[in-house]
Homo-oligomer: A and B are copies of this chain.
């Protein structure tokens, strides 16, 4: 059936990479969007990403990083493959594929770069979900949100959306935004302490009331999974 070389006549789909980059700023969850400067979907906002350039990109992750650095100026501390969408209807140019990543980054480390570029902005997640976005990017954002919600239930990896040093209250609030439900302070702190996931910097942060301890992620925090999840909403 399959004569050798037959595949050489098959057209290849367009291959892109898109990232859903989350951050936590001013007590809300935001994602980075880019205003498209070229067709198709010119003028609409969409995810940071673009076409895989096989001349310069070593692998798919390299494409994701190249595009994220273009928009933010820095490497995200957390980058994880989400899902790959491919069909003949998602892009008007025809059959296309996008390999999607979820990324996390502190707002502060790219504040300068982002504020100096006009077509890039952090937008609150809930607002994003009411915008008219390019291609199937809203669907991708929904998937990423759900993935982050799961992560918040069984790990503390969402913390990579915070600055290097952060308080437990901030980390908990971020988790609450993702889960969509209040968490018991005691439960949250206990499990983190028992799993030994954070490093106490000794520094404190003050802002009305008792000063809060600043913590830093330990290496194992990126892979640790709690045996028991927090309850879902």
Residues of chain A touching chain B, judged by Cβ–Cβ distance below 8 Å, are 2, 4, 7, 10-15, 37-39, 50-55, 58-60, 81, 83-88, 94-95, 97, 99, 225, 227-229, 231-232
- Rounded to whole angstroms, the CA-CA distance of A50 and B1 in the bound complex is 14
- Rounded to whole angstroms, the CA-CA distance of A94 and B99 in the bound complex is 19
Contact B87 A13 (CB under 8 A): no
**Oligomeric state, in number of copies?**
2
Contact B15 A52 (CB under 8 A): no
Distance (Å) between the CB of A19 and the closest chain B CB?
14
Contact B52 A86 (CB under 8 A): yes
Contact A60-B87, Cβ < 8 Å, known A2-B37, A12-B13, A55-B10: yes
Find the B residue at minimum CB distance from A81. B83
Contacts of A95 in B (CB 8 A): 52, 54
Find the B residue at minimum CB distance from A228. B228
CB pairs A–B below 8 angstroms (20 shown): A7-B50, A10-B53, A10-B55, A12-B12, A13-B52, A15-B15, A15-B86, A15-B97, A52-B95, A54-B88, A59-B86, A59-B88, A60-B84, A60-B85, A60-B87, A97-B97, A225-B229, A227-B229, A227-B232, A228-B229
Contact A84 B59 (CB under 8 A): no
Contact B81 A99 (CB under 8 A): no
Find the B residue at minimum CB distance from A94. B54
Distance (Å) between the CB of A69 and the closest chain B CB?
14
Distance (Å) between the CB of A73 and the closest chain B CB?
15
- Rounded to whole angstroms, the CA-CA distance of A38 and B60 in the bound complex is 26
